[in-house]
Amino acid sequence: MSYKILSLFSLISLCLTSCAQNNNKVLDNETVKLNNTAMNLSEQEWRTKLTPEQYYILREKGTEKPFSGEFTLTKEKGVYKCGGCGEPLFTDDMKFESHCGWPSFDKEIAGGKIIQTEDNTYGMRRTEITCAKCGGHLGHIFDDGPTETGKRYCVNSGSLSFEPQKSNVTQNTTETITLAGGCFWCIEAIFEELKGVSKVESGYSNGNTKNPTYKQVCTGTTGYAEVVQITYNKSIILLEQILEVFFALHDPTTLNRQGADVGTQYRSGIFYQNEEQRKIALKVIETLNKNNAFDNPIVTEINQIKDFYKAENYHQEYYELNKEQPYCKAVIKPKMDKLHKIFAEKLKTKKI
Ligand SMILES: [Zn+2]
C-alpha cells in the first residue's frame, strides 16, 4: 500500500449540513371558541399574580404606548409566552419588524392557543386576540402583514414573557461512527489517541446472527466484521479527519484481508449512522480515488450500521495491555509509530 496524501483533509471540500428549516405551519386563524377553564383565578388573584402593567393589558384589555415595550425590537432566539399563564404563543422566527411600535408576528404556534374575537370598541372594527388558556388580552390581528401569511399579530410586550433558546451545542456535537479495518486490536489503539475522541469500543457489526462471540466471528462465517465504534465530538474532530487517519493506517484495497489476517471479518468498512456520515464517507473515498492515493481501487464497504455487539472484555484496550506480545510488536507498533509521525497534531498528547 502506498499512502500518497498526508493531508487529505485539505483536499476534502466539506459538505457540512444546511441551515435550519422553518417548519412552522401557516394557520387558518379561524375563531376558536374555548372555555376559559384552564385558569380559573379571581380578579384579586390575578392582581396578586401580575404586575400592574401586565394586569392593565392582560385583564383590562389595555394597550401599552408604542415603542415602549421591552420586546418591540428584540431578535433573540426563543419562545414568547403568555405573560398570564406561560402558554407558548410565538417563536422568534415568527417575529418581524413592522415599525408599528409593538412586537409583530406573522403566525402563531399551532394548536388553537390564541382566540380571535371581533372588537368594535373605539369606533373601529378590529379583531382582538386573547390567550385561549387564561383569557388574557394580547392585542389585535390585522390582514396587512408583509409575509406570505398576510397576517400581523400586533401584540403588547406587556402581555408576553420570553424564554431564550437554550444552547444545545454540547448535545448535538457528539456522534458515533463504526469502522472496520482489520483486526480491531490495531484500530482501537489508534483512535484512542485522537483529540476529540471520547470513547472507542471494539466489537462486531453487520453480521447475521445474534450475540456473536470472538470464536464464532473468527470462523469468518457469521458475516460480522471486527469493528471499532468511535464516539467523537464534532466540534473538535470532524468525521473527515477520523477517516483520514483510518485510510492512512489500514489497507482499504484488499478485499476481506489485512495483511496476514484473511476473512470477511477483516474487511474494510464504514458503517454509518446517518445520511450526513454516508455522504462524508463517499466524498472522502471519491477524493482519495481521484487523487490516486492508492495503487489499487478502494474496496471499503459503506453501509448503514445494523448492529454493534461489544467484544469480550479482554479485547478492549488490547494493545495498551499487551504491548509486548509478538502480534502487537509486529503489526500494531508500526501503525502506532506511523500515527505519531503523521498525525502528531491530532493526538491528545504529542508523541514524536
Ligand atoms: Zn395565557
Q: How far is the CA of 90 from the centre of ligand 1 (A)?
A: 12
Taking CA atoms, 198 is separated from 117, 153, 155, 237, in Å, by: 56, 48, 47, 11
Q: How far is the CA of 113 from the centre of ligand 1 (A)?
A: 8
Beta-bridged to residue 142, according to DSSP, are 152
Residue-wise pLDDT tens for the chain (352 aa)?
A: 444 443 343 333 322 222 222 233 233 333 333 344 457 889 999 999 999 999 999 999 999 999 999 999 999 999 999 999 999 999 999 999 999 999 999 999 999 999 999 999 999 999 999 999 999 999 999 999 999 999 999 999 999 999 998 765 556 789 999 999 988 887 888 898 899 999 999 999 999 999 999 999 989 999 999 999 999 999 899 999 999 999 988 899 999 988 888 899 999 999 999 999 999 999 999 988 888 888 889 999 999 999 999 988 878 877 777 777 777 777 777 777 877 777 777 787 644 3
Which residues are catalytic, by number? 154, 183
Domain boundaries in the chain? 43-164, 170-341
pLDDT tens, 128-167?
A: 999 999 999 999 999 999 999 999 999 999 999 999 987 6
Residues near ligand 1 ion, CB 5 Å cutoff: 82, 84-85, 87, 131, 133-134, 136
In the numeric block, the cell 457489526 is attached to: 205
Q: List, in sequence order, the alpha helices (H) in the chain.
A: 8-11, 43-49, 52-54, 169-172, 184-192, 214-218, 239-248, 275-290, 318-321, 326-327, 333-342
**Chain centroid to CA 249:** 29
pTM of the complete model:
0.52
| CA angle, residues 126, 97, 57, in degrees to nearest 5 | 45
Q: How far is the CA of 171 from the centre of ligand 1 (A)?
A: 31
The CATH code for residues 43-164 is 2.170.150.20
Residue 68, CB-side half-sphere exposure with 13 Å CA sphere: 8
Same fold, 43-164 and 170-341: no
* pLDDT, position 21: 27
DSSP tag of 242? H
Q: How far is the CA of 116 from the centre of ligand 1 (A)?
A: 14
* pLDDT, position 28: 35
- Crossing angle for the helix pair 239-248 and 275-290, nearest 10 degrees? 50
Q: How far is the CA of 73 from the centre of ligand 1 (A)?
A: 22
Cell numbers of 291, please? Answer: 487523487
Number of Cβ within a 10 Å radius of residue 222: 17
* pLDDT, position 319: 77
* pLDDT, position 260: 81
Distance from C-alpha of 4 to C-alpha of 258, rounded to nearest angstrom: 19
Maximal CA-CA distance, the chain: 95
* pLDDT, position 2: 41
CATH topology of domain 170-341: Peptide Methionine Sulfoxide Reductase; Chain A (3.30.1060)
Q: How far is the CA of 138 from the centre of ligand 1 (A)?
A: 9
CB 344 within 8 A of CB 350: yes
